[in-house]
Structure 1
Amino acid sequence: MSTQEVSVPAVPPASGAWRAGDPRGGRRFAQIGDISLERGGVLENVQMSYETWGTLSPTGDNAVLVLHALTGDSHVVGEAGPGHPTAGWWNGLIGPGRELDTDRWFVVAPNVLGGCQGSTGPSSPAPDGRPYGSRFPYLTVRDQVAAERALADQLGIRSWGLVVGGSMGGMRALEWAVMEPDRVERLYVLASTAAATGDQIAWCSPQLMAIRSDANFRGGDYYDAGPGRGPHAGLGVARRIAHTTYRSEAELNLRFGRLPQQGENPLGGGGRFAVESYLDHHATKLTHRFDANSYLVLSQTMNAHDVGRGRGGVAAALGRVTARTAIAAISSDRLYTPEQSAEIAAGIPDCAPLRVIDSPYGHDGFLVEIERVGEILTELLGEPAQAELAAR
């Protein structure tokens, strides 16, 4: 499969009553116009892909925004199928009677700007009809939030009852609450940070180098190379590096240790250790569903993340947040550490004490520990936000 094949072509938004939503989800498309970029310039004719669950109230006051991580997409819950390369990444959290109860909430999950599952990204057609490729502009988290804001405007959503996201999605959730405090009533950030650290940027650097060094990368303009000719090897190496940081040392040692892969001999026989096979598996999965250029664009966006940039520093920026907030960290996360989550929690005025989810799964714990994530979510939604109090 070529890397180009994983992206969704630009199509007009589906006709029909988008406001009513669909309890089963289902990908939709919105043309939101031009987006002015933080670093200057304009990204023209932007399309946003998104899914919805539940029904938007007549006053538009029951909306929830769910934001995905680096290689996620809008398919938060549901099975794999046409248009969905993988099953939902938070299966079990959305639906009637669930933590995000669709009898109460209208849930919106967009594919991020710069991604490769329906929203405008490097594999999308530029104004000249050819894929952007190397011409795609540098994005910041603020640009991505600006696109999501335009989508919210088009959907008739003035404010969000809740904005929630983990990892890269947590960066966007936090940026929403800082950029648009009057539009975010509750905030839930998991396994994220207020600003990318030197350590995180350092781990990212060899991932970017691996992709750019692939002979099939062609400077980012590989979409016309034909099936199977994209920079899959480089993207696979990037995923192996990243996935190592997503899991904990304790888990990898306990789960794999020095065991050989079944039927293989790693001791001079050209075989693999079991942990190497595990990383190979995740690399192969990603190269069949994700675009290498999107991986570069989104990784650079995460590296640039800093809510304090131009706002007097992180503390001053966090002080702008008016949302009732819950911050959760994963105890064994070595990529976005509990200390970084603690900084966010300490800086937001209306924030509950930091919740640390005890998990051996490292950074990926925010995807694995669904029950614990849901418990904190239920507590937050059970607390009336300021807009609800004012309406009483």
Structure 2
Amino acid sequence: MAQPPSALAAGSVGTVETRYLDLPKPIRLDCGRELPAVRVAYETYGILSPRRDNVILVCHALSGDAHAAGFAAAPPAESTRDGFGAEDRDGTAGKGLGWWDGMIGPGKAFDTDRFFVVSTNLLGGCGGTTGPSSIDPATGRPYGADFPVITVADMVRTERAFLDELGIERLAAVAGGSLGGMQAFQWAVMFPDQVDAVVAIASTHALHPQGVAWNAIARDAIMRDPAWQGGHYYGTGRAPDAGMGVARMVGHITYLSAPALNDKFGRRLQFADDIRYTITEPEYEVESYLRHQADSFVKRFDANTYLYTSRALTYFDLARQHGGGSLARALEDLSARTLLIAFSSDWLYPPSASREIEEALRALGKSVELQVIDAPYGHDCFLLEEARQTPIIREFLSEHGLSD
């Protein structure tokens, strides 16, 4: 539970500690297998109303975790604050800040003076929820690549089972960006009578082929690293850090736009006086930046979790999975009011994907609002443009009676 703010900035939920809950029943998965023992890492912010009707579930993207807001009681060695320029923006405090701290707290987009905000680490994660690095009770060893292949629907089933244990039956809203937005839609489709509103930011109903391809390259980089060892590298003293670093560099570039990279780096050399005539070391500032991103990421994230989560988000396809190929048919039972936010420079989850969802919902007579924000940072905008998203989200929640 969040503690009262102390010396933190105004609007902070204070110092928080990640908690853990062991689910009492197995989770049945789309692949046909069953996970017999699932632990969920989570944090909560705000106060649960007596009627338990003010709950907002926040879902994270590929590299996130349960620590969405406030300052971690035990700050990690490496910051989990993703987003272009996050280190410049956050300074040393960034190592303890939640990944969406600017959006969750008193008076923020997800106002903890009004809402009880719940954030979990997704199934397959490496932030405390059961995943490939967890112990397989059948063998007493880490699952590794024996962990079952999971889907976004499996993540949502796990979240539903977790909320059952908290005694929460209904959600005022489900919100998230990127993969988090996919989870929000999955919630609204799988449990249409349990979700009042969806806030999906920089997301899609199905990743386009170029996005699938980039994810495949990132996964291949990990699996081609000899240190991956078929996914069973735990306890060997070797991990696929080289492949994981390349995967992170590939992924990071897909989250950015060409103008953002040009503005920050241009073609500036690492050493201003001249090139060094080397094929092994960074010559340009942008190359050095990518190496730094890779080195930081491998210290805090598990390669197998990357593989499983990346595969899950590429499988996600509402039309195929729920509509027999029709997006409208997949959404016809959805009753949640929907807010879509997209960003003009996001080519990985482009505004056109959100427009397709908007058009399908409007054709069905559903309540939907689309806001496209003109911003230069690419997909990372959902982590960076907090100030511009906040009034949109606050107004949406207020208009639909979700603010009191």
TM-score by length of 1: 0.89
Deviations 1:106-159 (A, max 9, x none): 100000000000000000000122100010000010000000000111111111
Deviations 1:87-114 (A, max 9, x none): 2111222222333222211100000000
% identical equivalent positions? 46
User: Could you tell me how far 1:211 is from its partner in structure 2?
Assistant: 0.1
Maintained 8 Å contact 2:163/2:169: yes
Q: Secondary structure at the match of 1:283?
A: helix
Maintained 8 Å contact 2:16/2:71: no
Structure 2 partner of 1:303: 314
Maintained 8 Å contact 1:24/1:53: no
- From 27, 30, 35, the counterpart of 1:43: 35
| 1:271–1:36 Cα change, 3 Å | closer
Deviations 1:225-278 (A, max 9, x none): 12xx21001000001011111000111122212111146854624542111111
Structure 2 partner of 1:118: 128
Structure 1 partner of 2:355: 342
Work out the CA distance in 1 between the residues paired with 2:312 and 2:273: 40
After TM superposition, list the pairs within 5 Å mapping 1:38-77 onto structure 2: 38-77=30-69
User: Could you tell me how far 1:175 is from its partner in structure 2?
Assistant: 0.5
Q: Any gaps of 5 or more consecutive residues in structure 2?
A: 2-12, 80-96
- From 359, 370, 375, the counterpart of 1:354: 370
Deviations 1:256-312 (A, max 9, x none): 121111468546245421111111111111101000000000000011001121433
Maintained 8 Å contact 1:207/1:238: yes
Specify the code of the residue in structure 2 equivalent to 1:47.
Answer: R
Maintained 8 Å contact 1:67/1:169: yes
Maintained 8 Å contact 1:325/1:351: yes
Structure 1 partner of 2:400: 384
Task: Note if 1:219 corresponds to 2:230.
Answer: yes
Specify the code of the residue in structure 2 equivalent to 1:29.
Answer: Y
Q: Secondary structure at the match of 1:353?
A: strand
Q: Secondary structure at the match of 1:184?
A: coil
Is 337-346 or 311-320 further displaced after alignment? 311-320
Task: Note if 1:242 corresponds to 2:251.
Answer: yes
Deviations 1:38-88 (A, max 9, x none): 120101111110000111122211100001110011111123552645321
Task: Note if 1:28 corresponds to 2:28.
Answer: no
Work out the CA distance in 2 between the residues paired with 1:203 and 1:266: 30
Structure 1 partner of 2:94: none
- From 333, 338, 348, the counterpart of 1:325: 338
Structure 2 partner of 1:7: none
Q: Any gaps of 5 or more consecutive residues in structure 1?
A: 1-13, 15-21
Structure 1 partner of 2:150: 139
Specify the code of the residue in structure 2 equivalent to 1:185.
Answer: D
Specify the code of the residue in structure 1 equivalent to 2:303.
Answer: A
Maintained 8 Å contact 2:15/2:73: no
Is 348-357 or 230-239 further displaced after alignment? 348-357
Maintained 8 Å contact 1:189/1:328: yes
Maintained 8 Å contact 2:173/2:197: yes
Work out the CA distance in 2 between the residues paired with 1:92 and 1:336: 22
Work out the CA distance in 2 between the residues paired with 1:264 and 1:178: 58
How well do the aligned residues superpose, as a CA RMSD in angstroms? 2.0
Specify the code of the residue in structure 1 equivalent to 2:267.
Answer: R
Work out the CA distance in 1 between the residues paired with 2:369 and 2:20: 38
Task: Note if 1:259 corresponds to 2:268.
Answer: yes
The count of residues paired between Structure 1 and Structure 2 equals 366
- 4+ long deviations beyond 4 Å: 263-267
Maintained 8 Å contact 1:264/1:271: no
Work out the CA distance in 2 between the residues paired with 1:365 and 1:99: 15
Work out the CA distance in 2 between the residues paired with 1:24 and 1:157: 24
Work out the CA distance in 2 between the residues paired with 1:212 and 1:45: 27
User: Could you tell me how far 1:195 is from its partner in structure 2?
Assistant: 1.1
| 1:146–1:271 Cα change, 3 Å | closer
Maintained 8 Å contact 1:141/1:301: yes
Structure 2 partner of 1:9: none
